[in-house]
Amino acid sequence: MDDGRASWDDEKDFTWMKEMIHQVHVLGKRANSGFKREDWHAATTKLNSDHAVIYTKEQGKSRSAEMKKQYAQVSQITKTSGIGFEAATCRFICLDGSWAHAAADGPST
The verdict on 65 and 88 lying in the same domain is no
Q: Is 56 helix (H, G, I), strand (E, B) or coil?
A: coil
Residues 71 and 58: their CA atoms lie apart, in Å, by 20
* pTM of the predicted model as reported, rounded to 2 decimal places: 0.74
Residue 1 banded pLDDT, cuts 50, 70, 90: very low
The verdict on 66 and 13 lying in the same domain is yes
Residues 70 and 8: their CA atoms lie apart, in Å, by 14
pLDDT tens readout for residues 73-104: 888 888 877 888 888 998 888 877 776 776 77
The verdict on 106 and 57 lying in the same domain is no
**Count of domains in the chain?**
2
Q: What is the mean pLDDT of the chain?
A: 85
**Long-range contact pairs involving 53-56 (C-beta distance under 8 Å, separation at least 24):** 53/1, 53/6, 53/12, 54/1, 55/1, 55/6
Residues 99 and 80: their CA atoms lie apart, in Å, by 9
Residue 6 carries which side chain, given as an amino acid letter?
A: A
Write out the residue range of the structural domain in which residue 87 sits.
Answer: 79-109
The verdict on 13 and 52 lying in the same domain is yes
The verdict on 19 and 66 lying in the same domain is yes
The verdict on 17 and 53 lying in the same domain is yes
Would 1 be classed as within a structural domain?
no
The verdict on 27 and 65 lying in the same domain is yes
pLDDT at residue number 3:
67
